Amino acid sequence: MADRLNIHLYKLLSAFSMAMDYNRYGMMRHHQRVALLALYMAEELQLSAEEYLPLFCSAIIHDAGSSTFREKASLEYFEVNNPWKHCERGYKLLNSVRILKPLADIVRYHHDNWNGQNLSGLSGDSIPLASRIIYLTDRVDVLSQKPGNILDHRDEIVKKIQSKSGTMFDPGLVEAFSRIAQKECLWLDLTNQFIQSRLELKLGNCPVTVNQDEITGISLIFSQIIDGKSPFTFRHSRLVAEVAKLLAEKTGFDREQQNNMYVAGLLHDLGKLSIPDEILEKPGKLNSVEYNLIKQHTYITYQILSNIDCFEDINSWASYHHEKLDGTGYPFRLAGKDLPHGSRMMAVADIFSALVEDRPYRKGMSRNEIEKILTGQVKTQAIDGEIVDLLLNHYREAEDLKEITWGREET
Give the residues lining the site for Fe ion (CB under 5 A). Answer: 63, 138, 269
Pick the closer one to Fe ion by CB: 138 or 384: 138
| Shortest Å, Cβ 185 to Fe ion | 22
172 Cβ contact partners less than 8 Å away, ≥ 6 residues apart: none
Residue ranges of the alpha helices (H) in 45-170? 49-60, 69-74, 84-95, 101-108, 129-143, 154-163
| Shortest Å, Cβ 240 to Fe ion | 9
| Shortest Å, Cβ 142 to Fe ion | 7
d(CA 349, CA 240): 6
Residue 304, Cα to own-chain centre: how many angstroms?
10
Pick the closer one to Fe ion by CB: 112 or 384: 112
Checking 302-305 for CB contacts under 8 A at 24+ apart, the result is: 302/271, 302/331, 303/271, 304/15, 304/16, 304/18, 304/19, 304/270, 304/271, 305/15, 305/267, 305/270
| Shortest Å, Cβ 204 to Fe ion | 24
Dihedral over alpha carbons 245, 250, 253, 254 (to 10 degrees): 90
| Shortest Å, Cβ 65 to Fe ion | 8
Please state, in angstroms and as integers, the Cα–Cα distance from residue 198 to each residue in 6, 177, 178, 204, following that order: 21, 19, 21, 10
Pick the closer one to Fe ion by CB: 105 or 138: 138
Pick the closer one to Fe ion by CB: 210 or 311: 311
Strands 4-8 and 209-211: antiparallel
Pick the closer one to Fe ion by CB: 144 or 211: 144
Pick the closer one to Fe ion by CB: 300 or 398: 300
Pick the closer one to Fe ion by CB: 138 or 214: 138
Q: How many residues does the chain have?
A: 411
| Shortest Å, Cβ 371 to Fe ion | 22
What is the SS3 assignment for 129? Answer: helix
| Shortest Å, Cβ 207 to Fe ion | 27
Please state, in angstroms and as integers, the Cα–Cα distance from residue 344 to each residue in 96, 258, 267, 392, following that order: 31, 14, 16, 15
Pick the closer one to Fe ion by CB: 269 or 323: 269
Pick the closer one to Fe ion by CB: 294 or 378: 294
The helix (run of H) or strand (run of E) holding residue 23 is strand 22-23
| Shortest Å, Cβ 345 to Fe ion | 14
| Shortest Å, Cβ 297 to Fe ion | 6
Please state, in angstroms and as integers, the Cα–Cα distance from residue 402 to each residue in 96, 248, 335, 353, 407, following that order: 21, 17, 30, 8, 8
d(CA 346, CA 247): 9
d(CA 293, CA 34): 28
